[in-house]
């Protein structure tokens, strides 16, 4: 029997980043500079821009609530990108003048992310990174406030595998992973103290281990892809090891989303057994909006105490999915995992950087409303009167 979900992830959920209104993009560029390579990575202290962000966030929280969602984020409106602002909050990680080696592809060929960072010393937690951003959402929403942060798994790839140049001790990769995970562990504790009870770790590099070309890439850096999977899982487990029982942690795993472009392809089979059974999180947001994601068969490895949020609605185009087709795909997924363990969401956020995907805010609203509509047709009423936490 399908049960009401009274805690995250919810039957109708979303990944977190949302399309910025044009005026927010324009004011960010006016006050911080245009979107040139590596410009304005990390958090800012511009009071005028913060006030503009505050108002835009309040409005986007209302949008999420009006769509019928039971969780709300700040849309990542204060960030230049989904990961840089957070990673640069740690001691030992700094902006780099070099171009990123991380490439993404679209229908026109290949694009390259401009964001680039480097290690300048051992990784340490230097104090709260996103607690203040979480508290602002919590103060302005009537649904469950949710925070998204990049998972520790991403950092090795963002550094192009170069971790020992500035920190010779990191010639032993286990020391790199230990320092990184401990820094995350302290941040997770600070977030819980700030009131965060719904935390999402965003990752692209786990799915990269399902792509033959990406596996060859990390092998060329001197890393065994299968050993790397174990390191990834261990880093997440250390990061969340101290979280109290009232804190739900999920992982979002996709193949990259650089203004609609992608970075990898291949189904989850290569990682699913270990990922689902060894990673100490409560659920997984999985990209499933295109053939690049493969079949639902890997869901057979999902243990009974975890959930999967099926990312069946694309955030990369404005094409609105046909509800019956989505319901058929949910039915297909339920052949491998119990329907009670499944939820629905877009496959990724709508704006992994401040410029966003090639969709409009109205497109985004229709997509989010569609998620709620389909979820209610499959699992029943999901509104506040049917459950949810605050």
Confidence of residue 389 (pLDDT cuts 50, 70, 90): very low
Has residue 170 got a pLDDT over 50? yes
DSSP-assigned letters across all residues of 193-246: HTT--EEEEEESHHHHTTSHHHHHHHHHTT--HHHHHHHHHHHHHHHTTT--TT
pLDDT at residue 330, as a whole number: 98
pLDDT digits (tens, 9 = 90+) for 93-129: 998 876 666 655 555 555 555 568 899 999 999 999 9
What is the four-CA torsion angle of 94, 96, 101, 103, rounded to 10 degrees?
80
Tell me the percentage of the chain whose pLDDT exceeds 70. Answer: 88
Q: 162 vs 36, which has greater pLDDT?
A: 162
Q: Nearest 5°: phi and psi at 371?
A: -55, -50
pLDDT at residue 386, as a whole number: 46
Confidence of residue 265 (pLDDT cuts 50, 70, 90): confident
Tell me the average pLDDT of the chain: 91
pLDDT digits (tens, 9 = 90+) for 25-37: 999 999 998 665 5
Has residue 220 got a pLDDT over 60? yes
- As given in the structure block, the two tokens for residue 321 are 């999915």
Q: What is the mean pLDDT of residues 219-244?
A: 95
The count of C-alpha atoms lying within 13 angstroms of the C-alpha of 240, restricted to the half-sphere facing its C-beta, is 26
Has residue 146 got a pLDDT over 90? yes
């Amino acid at each position: 029997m399908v049960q009401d979900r009274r805690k995250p992830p919810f039957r109708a959920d979303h990944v977190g980043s949302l399309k910025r209104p044009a005026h927010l993009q324009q004011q960010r560029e006016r006050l911080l500079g245009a979107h040139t390579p590596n410009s304005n990575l990390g958090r800012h202290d511009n009071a005028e821009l913060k006030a503009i962000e505050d108002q835009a966030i309040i409005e986007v929280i209302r949008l999420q609530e009006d769509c019928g969602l039971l969780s709300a984020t700040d849309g990542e409106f204060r960030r230049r990108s989904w990961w840089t602002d957070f990673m640069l909050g740690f001691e030992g990680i700094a902006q780099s003048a070099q171009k990123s080696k991380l490439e993404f592809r679209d229908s026109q060929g290949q694009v390259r992310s401009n964001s680039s960072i480097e290690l300048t010393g051992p990784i340490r937690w230097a104090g709260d990174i996103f607690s203040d951003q979480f508290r602002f959402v919590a103060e302005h929403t009537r649904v469950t406030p949710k925070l998204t942060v990049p998972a520790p798994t991403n950092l090795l790839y963002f550094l192009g595998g170069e971790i020992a140049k500035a920190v010779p001790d990191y010639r032993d990769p286990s020391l790199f992973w230990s320092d990184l995970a401990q820094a995350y562990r302290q941040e997770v504790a600070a977030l819980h103290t700030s009131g965060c009870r719904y935390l999402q770790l965003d990752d692209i590099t786990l799915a990269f281990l399902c792509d033959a070309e990406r596996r060859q890439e990390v092998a060329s850096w001197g890393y065994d892809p299968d050993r790397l999977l174990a390191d990834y899982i261990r880093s997440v487990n250390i990061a969340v090891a101290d979280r109290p029982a009232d804190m739900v942690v999920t992982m979002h795993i996709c193949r990259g989303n650089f203004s609609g472009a992608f970075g990898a392809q291949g189904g989850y089979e290569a990682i699913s057994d270990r990922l689902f059974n060894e990673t100490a999180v409560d659920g997984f947001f999985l990209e499933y909006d295109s053939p690049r994601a493969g079949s639902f068969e890997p869901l057979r490895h999902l243990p009974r105490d975890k959930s999967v949020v099926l990312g069946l609605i694309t955030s990369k185009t404005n094409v609105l999915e046909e509800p019956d087709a989505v319901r058929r795909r949910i039915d297909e997924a339920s052949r491998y995992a119990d329907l009670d363990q499944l939820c629905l969401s877009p496959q990724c956020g709508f704006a992994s950087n401040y410029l966003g995907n090639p969709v409009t805010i109205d497109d985004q609203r229709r997509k989010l409303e569609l998620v709620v509509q389909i979820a209610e047709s499959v699992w029943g009423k999901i509104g506040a009167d049917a459950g949810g936490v605050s």
